[in-house]
């Protein structure tokens, strides 16, 4: 008896799209240093520098929605290229800026371009991959970005010691390299549907199944962003260094990469979407409960593997569910609406996470996040009927 589910080979264009996005992620480290660059080069307070960074963050929310709209109207490839080139121009503008006002303008422009290419990239996968293989394809994209993220940290550590402005130059170059790969290997956009199409003219915001996924996705994104932001702050409570968070994040990335074959195990591949996400949430809850109980770095690493396996089981399924819910003509907008969950979570996570850490300590913070994962599992099962409607894929 075969324990692995049969799998089809992903189309060449999709594999090259994933490679191109990984190349782009290799340079996606500059934003972590935006606040530092502003405060050191222009001699302003951290609060002022933070306001500029907040301007970037707020601009990413309409950027993703615009990316979804353009993906369905202008075309997938054109929108990806527009976003990548826009990011490169804005990053070069930040690198060359001679005043705080110029940096602020380019930071907002970067935010407006930053998410343009996410919805069309995700929609392109849905267009080119059969419904049965979409969860695996989205998970592979997630793994490729995780692998590139590890390389990005090494590049940042070397280039950043020289001059922070060069981080933005390197980031811009990776955007342009990604754009070249997309332009060369991805087929040109075909004609887009007209406005008279019923499915295309319907509003994604009125689809109850999509709104149910948005609610679940926002809760999951909030948990994930609190981990990313608060883990370095929480480790000193255990007598560890904040920098040890880098080790744990590397363990997480390696788990997501090495765990890809897990998705092909028949018992895992056969799980329906709601049940699969609920099982993943249980793994995440277990790992985060482990954070609350474990105080040594090796034990924290084991807990990291647990919650990362949960992430592996959830992330690809969630995007596959949204892609299946969407009419083919509106996939970009559906995926963009779902993607706003990350924008909402990015705003809420620093506030909610720091309040929990201050009031409850590290153990209380992780216990609350474990509870939130269990709530996500229950929410996933509660919307099972909505998200299990037949796929609209051709």
Given a cut of 70, whether residue 197 has pLDDT beyond it is no
217 confidence band (pLDDT: 50, 70, 90) = very high
pLDDT for the residue numbered 161 = 63
Q: What is the mean pLDDT of residues 302-321?
A: 94
The maximal CA–CA distance of the chain, rounded, in angstroms, is: 67
Distance of CA 79 to the CA centre of its chain: 18
Q: What is the mean pLDDT of residues 289-308?
A: 93
Single out the residue of 314, 318, 221, 308 nearest to residue 257, CA to CA: 308
Q: What is the pLDDT of residues 234-252, one digit of tens each?
A: 888 888 887 788 788 889 9
Beta bridge partners of 198: none
Distance of CA 386 to the CA centre of its chain: 24
Single out the residue of 347, 361, 250 nearest to residue 295, CA to CA: 361
Q: Report whether 227 contacts 368 (CB < 8 A).
A: no
Given a cut of 70, whether residue 159 has pLDDT beyond it is no
Q: What is the pLDDT of residues 64-81, one digit of tens each?
A: 899 999 999 889 999 999
Tell me how far apart the alpha carbons of residues 44 and 56 are, in angstroms, rounded to a whole number: 17
Question: Which domains does the chain possess?
Answer: 10-188 (1.20.1250.20), 202-394 (1.20.1250.20)
First to last CA, the chain: 32
Q: What is the pLDDT of residues 143-154, one digit of tens each?
A: 888 888 777 666
Q: Report whether 145 contacts 21 (CB < 8 A).
A: yes
Q: What is the mean pLDDT of residues 279-290?
A: 96
SS3 160: coil
Given a cut of 50, whether residue 230 has pLDDT beyond it is yes
pLDDT for the residue numbered 191 = 62
Q: Report whether 176 contacts 88 (CB < 8 A).
A: yes
Single out the residue of 280, 283, 293, 284 nearest to residue 364, CA to CA: 293
Q: Report whether 13 contacts 121 (CB < 8 A).
A: no
Tell me how far apart the alpha carbons of residues 248 and 320 are, in angstroms, rounded to a whole number: 28
Q: What is the DSSP letter of 33?
A: G
Tell me how far apart the alpha carbons of residues 70 and 75 are, in angstroms, rounded to a whole number: 7
Residue with tokens 């549907």: 193
* Backbone phi, psi, residue 265, to 5°: -60, 135
| Least confident window among 8-12, 188-192, 225-229 | 188-192
Residue with tokens 């990776």: 174
pLDDT for the residue numbered 29 = 65
């Amino acid at each position: 008896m075969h324990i692995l589910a049969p799998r089809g080979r992903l189309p060449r264009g999709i594999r090259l799209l994933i490679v191109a996005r990984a190349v782009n992620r290799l340079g996606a480290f500059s934003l972590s240093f935006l606040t530092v660059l502003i405060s050191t080069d222009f001699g302003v307070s951290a609060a002022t520098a933070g306001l500029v960074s907040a301007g970037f963050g707020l601009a990413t929310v309409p950027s993703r929605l615009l990316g979804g709209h353009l993906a369905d109207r202008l075309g997938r490839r054109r929108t990806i290229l527009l976003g990548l080139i826009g990011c490169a121009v804005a990053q070069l503008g930040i690198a060359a800026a001679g005043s705080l006002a110029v940096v602020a303008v380019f930071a907002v422009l970067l935010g407006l371009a930053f998410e343009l290419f996410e919805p069309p990239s995700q929609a392109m996968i849905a267009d080119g991959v059969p419904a049965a293989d979409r969860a695996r394809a989205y998970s592979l994209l997630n793994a490729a970005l995780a692998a590139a993220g590890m390389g990005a940290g090494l590049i940042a550590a070397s280039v950043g010691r020289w001059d922070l402005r060069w981080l933005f130059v390197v980031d811009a170059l990776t955007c342009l390299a990604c754009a070249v790969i997309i332009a060369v290997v991805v087929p040109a956009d075909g004609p887009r549907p007209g406005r008279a199409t019923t499915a295309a003219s319907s509003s994604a915001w009125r689809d109850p199944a999509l709104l149910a996924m948005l609610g679940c996705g926002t809760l999951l994104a909030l948990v994930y962003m609190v981990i990313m932001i608060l883990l370095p702050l929480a480790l000193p409570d255990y007598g560890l260094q904040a920098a040890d968070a880098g080790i744990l994040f590397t363990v997480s990335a390696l788990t997501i990469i090495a765990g890809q074959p897990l998705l092909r195990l028949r018992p895992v591949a056969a799980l329906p979407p709601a049940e699969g996400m609920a099982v993943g949430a249980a793994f995440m809850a277990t790992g985060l409960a482990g954070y609350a109980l474990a105080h040594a770095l090796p034990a924290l690493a084991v807990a990291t593997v647990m919650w990362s396996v949960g992430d592996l089981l959830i992330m690809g399924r969630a995007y596959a569910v949204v892609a299946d819910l969407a009419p083919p003509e509106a996939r970009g907008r559906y995926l963009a609406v779902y993607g706003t969950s990350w924008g909402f979570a990015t705003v809420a996570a620093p506030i909610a996470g720091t309040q929990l850490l201050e009031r409850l300590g590290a153990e209380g913070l992780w216990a609350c996040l474990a509870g939130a994962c269990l709530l996500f599992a229950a929410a996933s099962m509660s919307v099972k009927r909505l998200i299990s409607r037949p796929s609209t894929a051709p």
